[in-house]
Structure 1
Amino acid sequence: MAEEKQLTTTINGTESRPMIFPLEKDKSKANDNIDDINVIDFEGEDDPLDPMNWKPWLRWSHIMLMSLMAFVLSLGDLAFAPAVPMLLSDLHVSTESPLSTLVISIYSLGTIAGNLLGPPIVRCGLCSQPTIQVLIAMRFLAGGFGAVSYTLGGPIIGDLFPAEKRGVTMAVFSGGQMIGPVVGPIFGGYLAQEQGWRWVFWLMVILSGAVYIPSVLLMRESYRPTVLQNKVRKLRKSTGNQQLKSKYEVDAKRIGLFIGAMLCGATSDCRMEKASKGGEQKPEYQLPPLLLGTITVPLGLLLYGWVAQYHLHWALPLIGTGFIGFGFMTTLLPSTNYLVDSFPLHSASAIAVTELLLAASGALFPLAAPPLYNHIGYGWGNSALAFSTIAFAPLPWLLLKFGERIRKRENATTL
């Protein structure tokens, strides 16, 4: 048997896979398998370095903190709305000016890009801005710096939980994002009435800081390629073997496979590690609730618009908005789960695109709404929105039928 020397390395208290280094006389035989020897992966299903094997309290603390971040960000979107008349009066801005709407909607536009550290600092500036123009700019920055809480929530859930356990965690995370716009105007209106509009922003400063501090202390990197790359870096240092690499690391051979796949149109099966009820669990299984959302959203828009047009009982518009909210949730959650399952290593990028569209819509539609309703009324205005949602209704059906085929084609580009 060939003579070998073996080295075992401990990383973060965890013993790594023994690395085998063939002696000189075995080099010719070892060359065939050198790539496999130097590729570092997690040590089986129970490797504590794998984010899915972290302790439950640590994984759930990440989910709760991301939910709180999303809550604070969404709270800041509309908490300021009741204080707008007071602000316009203080800053001598006409209520007919487009700036009166932009000061609210610009926050959503800012969430297209962002970082976490900025919101507390920017919101301090919001508390004392003397002009409406500077206030709008600071609102844009506040929304932008906090956008990471929307973008990274789904990918972090995908890193920490297997597919069959993501439903509850995704609901917990999305709950923070959904509750903020509901309670924001209530707290904002009361605080602005009692303490002035600047205290709405001081409240956001306090809440942002309260969430940011435990986030810095508790949250850690959960992206699997990065976790493995950190392991590789430590092994290179301890063993001296600079040929070690993560299984996710791209090299020239993989780039060649990528180009070949693009040119030849090769396909590969999308593999799921978890099974559901004895069968393969596919991302398309997340889509059926979207079919319900394609019905309830336009129904709610039509109900809200026409009962508001004819000034019917006050409860009817609430029912309409209830349908809209229900449809929004049955659309948002399955869509996020579908993206996380379809792009496990690139879910942050996929979700960032959807958040960009959501933020852009939230920023621009409020500017178009007053002219729309003034010209054609609530009934036909909401009908136009309902018809636009109906136009997209076939998309979930198309994904159910062709989604797997599309994923197989696109998966070839990741080889």
Structure 2
Amino acid sequence: MTSKKMFVKSPILVGVKRQHGQEGSLPETQTSSASDSDPEVLQVGWDGGDDDPLSPRSFSKSKKWMIVATVSMACFCVTAASSVYTSTYERMEESFGNSRKVSVLGLSLFVLGIGCGPLFFSPLSEFFGRRPVYLVAWSLYVIWTIPQAVASNIATMLVARFLAAFSGSTFLAVAGGTVGDLFSKDQLQYPMAIFTVSPFIGPCIGPIIGGFINYNAHWRWTYYVMLMWSFALLMAIAFLVPETFHPAVLRQKAKMLRQSTGDSRWRAPIEEQDKSIVVAVSRSLKRPFQLLIFEPMCLSLCIFSALLLGILYLFFGAFPLIFHTHHQFNLWQVGLSFIGIGVGLIVGVLTDPVWARIRLYYVSKLAESTGKPGAGEPEFRLPPAIFGSLIVPLGLFMFAWTTYPSIHWIVPIIGSGIFGMGNILVFTGIFAFLVDAYPDYAASALAANACVRCVFAAAFPLFGNEMYLVLGFQWASSLLAFLTLAMVPFPFLFFKYGKRIRSKSRMAKN
């Protein structure tokens, strides 16, 4: 009997047969679809490509944006929970009798959990789909928020925070895939920008929320509010976020066809693969470290972005110290001092069309010189990181030397805003470059970046306060600025010599 196929037009499903070592939307296997070897299999695909009513890309615009808003809000909630905790230090220490260093450990463990969780949950989404992983992970996040609200000792708080972050971090790893499921490449820019900025805005808003709560109510209300917020999001995820992972949706379609026709030969591509969760998780754990060890470009850029996130989390201890000491800010006013960084992040995201035009200029220039149209080189993604790397130390130096009591408090906050703008520009440039330079290992490259970032973000708060007290407010911030200044050459070097470096790499595109 001749095989009957419904050809797959969606780009996420092209190339079911995989080469060794490649990564993509489907689980990594070495087998092709059964229809290549078994003529009795009827392979399910999209009817009319993205116009298929079951395709996530055929959803209405309002439904797509509702899904994007929900998953982005989950990312925002998790990262806000990381920093909202810092506003509870003083009153929590009165209740538990622990030291400030132990309190800060709760911040570090949360960030560490955010870094570890995606390594386990991201591969699972390729087997079970995004929706089941979302529901299970976020339910666990809600559950582990409860012990934080009712903890009777600091040990319970620390363990619960790590486990909550481990579960909630799923959205930071998987939600970007959901956005890609819903929009084609030419529509992806703005929804992806919303998703990208939401995890970075969260840490800036957390102290504001916590400052108002802890100034006016018992510190446990911080977690009651977070619990209500996360439970509301769980309901939104359950009722508003359907399955969008294309292979999983096709699996549902194949099941519907088998039930409606009584023909058991209908199969989705993902059903015909020789899958192994253990292999996928072990690869997810191993390959990011291979990239860090064998790829100097990946390692250097990951350290740069990690340094910036480490400084951001160090500021959660430094800002209360500086603004309370020199400007007599109370708790909610200290929270509001983080608005500068948040505004800087938003302004940086709004410059995205400028960098898109600059990239198109380089792409067209390359096409003219070679006579061949194309997508351009990965290095064309680096201009925002180059500009961001220049203004990050500028913002930090401005912040450092305007923290005197005689200088109005708005001036260092403006400096922190410049730092925030440079921060997001460096992040977006590095993320885009890593995905473009390591297309076969994009997920692992981003996982490597997340791992290094979270290690730095977990470590920096542990010594931040002591550093500011020993060196003084001005020189402590200046030391951070000098560290970022040392990283400035790397985006320039990779922009100029990246193609030559990639030609000698065994993992990068060349």
Under a length normalisation based on structure 1, what TM-score does the superposition of the two structures give?
0.74
Q: How does 1:297-308 map to 2 (within 5 A)?
A: 297-308=392-403
Structure 1 residue 196 displacement after superposition? 0.2
Kindly tell me the number of residue pairs found equivalent between the two proteins: 364
The structure-2 alpha-carbon separation of the partners of 1:209 and 1:341, relative to structure 1 and needing over 3 Å to count, comes to farther
Unaligned runs of 5+ in 1: 10-32, 252-274
SS in 2 for 1:46: helix
Whether contact under 8 Å (2:438, 2:507) holds in the other structure is no
Structure 1 residue 327 displacement after superposition? 0.7
1:63 to 64, 68, 89: 68
Provide, for residues 117-168 of structure 1, a one-character-per-residue CA deviation record: whole Å limited to 9, x for no partner.
2121111111111111221111112222111122223232233323343331
Whether contact under 8 Å (1:151, 1:348) holds in the other structure is no
Q: Does 1:93 align with 2:98?
A: yes
Structure 1 residue 194 displacement after superposition? 2.6
Whether contact under 8 Å (1:63, 1:173) holds in the other structure is yes
Give 1:141's aligned residue: 163
Whether contact under 8 Å (2:387, 2:422) holds in the other structure is yes
Structure with more helix by fraction: 2
Provide, for residues 214-259 of structure 1, a one-character-per-residue CA deviation record: whole Å limited to 9, x for no partner.
21223233334444565567778965559984699589xxxxxxxx
Provide, for residues 292-343 of structure 1, a one-character-per-residue CA deviation record: whole Å limited to 9, x for no partner.
1111111111221232268633222112101110011112233334455566
The structure-2 alpha-carbon separation of the partners of 1:7 and 1:199, relative to structure 1 and needing over 3 Å to count, comes to same
The separation in 2 between residues aligned to 1:56 and 1:353, in whole angstroms, is: 33
Whether contact under 8 Å (1:154, 1:351) holds in the other structure is no
Give 2:301's aligned residue: none
Q: How does 1:195-344 map to 2 (within 5 A)?
A: 195-228=217-250, 240-241=264-265, 245=269, 279-282=373-376, 283-308=378-403, 312-340=407-435
Give 2:462's aligned residue: 367
Whether contact under 8 Å (1:158, 1:341) holds in the other structure is no
The structure-2 alpha-carbon separation of the partners of 1:248 and 1:112, relative to structure 1 and needing over 3 Å to count, comes to farther
SS in 2 for 1:113: helix
Comparing 175-184 and 320-329, the one that deviates more? 175-184
Q: Does 1:397 align with 2:492?
A: yes
Unaligned runs of 5+ in 2: 7-34, 118-136, 276-359, 368-372
The CA RMSD measured in Å over matched residues stands at: 3.8
The separation in 1 between residues aligned to 2:436 and 2:239, in whole angstroms, is: 29
The structure-2 alpha-carbon separation of the partners of 1:284 and 1:216, relative to structure 1 and needing over 3 Å to count, comes to farther
Give 2:50's aligned residue: 46
Structure 1 residue 284 displacement after superposition? 4.1
Structure 1 residue 182 displacement after superposition? 2.9
Aligned AA for 1:110?
Answer: G
Aligned AA for 1:322?
Answer: G
Provide, for residues 151-201 of structure 1, a one-character-per-residue CA deviation record: whole Å limited to 9, x for no partner.
223232233323343331122123432332333222212222332011100
1:102 to 105, 119, 123: 105
The separation in 2 between residues aligned to 1:155 and 1:334, in whole angstroms, is: 19
Structure 1 residue 364 displacement after superposition? 1.0
Whether contact under 8 Å (1:302, 1:383) holds in the other structure is yes
The structure-2 alpha-carbon separation of the partners of 1:85 and 1:6, relative to structure 1 and needing over 3 Å to count, comes to closer
The separation in 1 between residues aligned to 2:267 and 2:235, in whole angstroms, is: 39
Whether contact under 8 Å (1:191, 1:200) holds in the other structure is yes
Structure 1 residue 368 displacement after superposition? 1.8
The separation in 1 between residues aligned to 2:508 and 2:430, in whole angstroms, is: 19
Comparing 335-344 and 362-371, the one that deviates more? 335-344
The structure-2 alpha-carbon separation of the partners of 1:353 and 1:122, relative to structure 1 and needing over 3 Å to count, comes to same
Larger radius of gyration: 1
Give 1:410's aligned residue: 507
Aligned AA for 1:330?
Answer: L
SS in 2 for 1:221: coil
Under a length normalisation based on structure 2, what TM-score does the superposition of the two structures give?
0.61
The structure-2 alpha-carbon separation of the partners of 1:243 and 1:164, relative to structure 1 and needing over 3 Å to count, comes to closer
Give 2:289's aligned residue: none
The separation in 2 between residues aligned to 1:236 and 1:366, in whole angstroms, is: 56
SS in 1 for 2:115: coil
Whether contact under 8 Å (2:44, 2:267) holds in the other structure is no
Structure with more strand by fraction: 1
Give 1:129's aligned residue: 151
Give 2:19's aligned residue: none
Whether contact under 8 Å (2:379, 2:499) holds in the other structure is yes
Structure 1 residue 45 displacement after superposition? 4.1
Aligned AA for 1:92?
Answer: G
The separation in 2 between residues aligned to 1:248 and 1:386, in whole angstroms, is: 53
1:189 to 199, 211, 215: 211
Aligned AA for 1:182?
Answer: C
The separation in 2 between residues aligned to 1:339 and 1:156, in whole angstroms, is: 19
Of all paired residues, the percent bearing the same amino acid is 28
Give 1:23's aligned residue: none
SS in 2 for 1:144: helix
